[in-house]
Amino acid sequence: MEALIVSLVILLQTLLTTTPVAAQYNPSASIYQKCPADSTNYTSGSVFQSDLGNLLQSLARQTPSNGGFFNDSTNDNTVYGLAQCRGDLSRTECSDCLARSVTEIIARCPWRKQAVLRFDGCLTRYSDRRFFSTLSTDDSQILYNANNASDQKLLNRQLGRLLNGLATNASLDSSRFAKGEINYTTTDVGKLYGLVQCTKDLSEGDCVSCLRQSIGYLPGCCSGKIGAQVLSTSCYLRYESSPFYSALSPPPPPPGGASPINRNKSNSSKTVIFIVVATTVAVWKHWTAGTTQQLIDKALPEQFPSIEFHRCIHIGLLCVQGNPANRPTMSLVLLMLSSSSFSVPAPSPPGYFLSDESSESVALMRDLENPNGISRGRGKRGGGDTMKEAEKREGAIE
């Protein structure tokens, strides 16, 4: 039993460290928040609080796999929510940004039934009123670099060309996103880099209107400045004198030619796979039988937090779903572990769960355990035994 617990921990650690972490920059810097003064408050334990938690979890999970944008509402239309990532972010960066955003929006606008939180890489918004496809530009905020260009007139002229062109491009593109650069050759600035984005639910006309309004703020605040951002609920623009957005190039193809096979490493890999498969099968059977408490090491103290242990197993089973799209990202796993108010969806059988009556399953288990093809036990290689007989004979489950 102790070995089973260790194997489960190893399995969870392996699954949770496969997601790459963005290292070039941190897209989770908060730059805009809005907690409307006219918003009513919800109370602890209310239906709204429960629906809000479930909706925010759904936004964090669904947005990265839906092109960086997702809006939804609860079944009874108690809460409406929207999340969007900056168009140049990878799926991992998007997921990481939203995992933080959906927790901080509650902390920054406590008990409010309406809130908006924009980080450098993502936007999260919720309300008790339907707001989808509605332009909102009130309470715009401006950030700017205090440094001036040496030729301010040239910068303003080139910047106008850049941003107006990007605003048009973004409004015509279904992503409502555009980025680009323009030459500006002086001693202190070589190029200007710009990025604009509207929420994807806006129409073409509302998107270009929002961006043009934001561009119109720049002469009054930021004339000649080498960098600035204008932020509102519905759109966002930024320009700098150095690159700040991602290129998102596809990964290079693998080098040609097959690699030589290391037989010993292959056998070791199969042994590890067998351990993981057998462990997962055991855990799944305890889960469906409602006996996961039997997995707890009896050497642990009686006050061991069994509820937290059960939740960890629940999340671990989600990490081995057959469809990769149904597996939570590392950031979402951390969110589910850190917040008990977020409900965790019920897991399906693991991707490599083997049915009791499948002879092919028994053959596969034998191959994993005995990669050299040496028959052990009474059954013939290729099938005939049930899964329970194989487990009993090989000791896969105690």
Please state the pTM of the whole predicted model.
0.58
DSSP string for residues in 314-358: HHHHHTTBSSGGGSPPHHHHHHHHH-TTS--PPPPSBTT---TT-
Please determine whether the domains at 25-127 and 141-240 fall in the same fold group of CATH.
Answer: yes
CB atoms under 10 Å from CB of 96, counted, come to 27
Is pLDDT above 50 for 359?
no
pLDDT of residue 46: 95
Out of 3.30.430.20, 3.50.50.60, 3.60.15.10, 2.40.50.140, select the CATH number for domain 25-127. Answer: 3.30.430.20
Per-residue pLDDT of 229-261, as tens digits, reads 999 999 999 999 999 988 653 333 334 433 333
Cα(87)–Cα(177) distance, rounded to whole angstroms? 6
**Averaged pLDDT, 108-123:** 95
Least-confidence region, from 170-174, 262-266, 305-309, 381-385: 381-385
Nearest to 136 by CA among 36, 224, 52, 227: 36
Amino acid at 164: N
What pLDDT shows up at residue 301? 58
Query: Alpha-carbon distance 297 to 302, whole Å?
Result: 10
As a whole number of angstroms, the distance between CA 55 and CA 125 comes to 11
Query: Residue 226: its pLDDT value, please?
Result: 92
Across 316-330, average pLDDT: 71
Q: Are 237 and 195 in contact (CB under 8 A)?
A: yes
Helices (H), the chain: 2-16, 47-62, 91-108, 152-172, 204-222, 263-289, 306-318, 330-338, 359-369, 387-394
Using CA atoms, how far apart are residues 101 and 89, in angstroms rounded to an integer?
15
- The mean-pLDDT minimum among 47-51, 216-220, 308-312 falls in 308-312
Q: What is the pLDDT of residue 138?
A: 80
Tens digit of each residue's pLDDT (9 = 90 or more) over 134-173: 999 888 999 999 899 989 999 999 999 999 999 999 999 9
The superfamily CATH assigns to domain 141-240 is Gnk2 domain, C-X8-C-X2-C motif (3.30.430.20)
Query: How many Å apart are CA 126 and CA 42, to the nearest integer?
Result: 13
Q: What is the mean pLDDT of residues 167-182?
A: 96
The structure tokens 């149904």 sit at 326
Domain ranges of the chain: 25-127, 141-240, 264-394
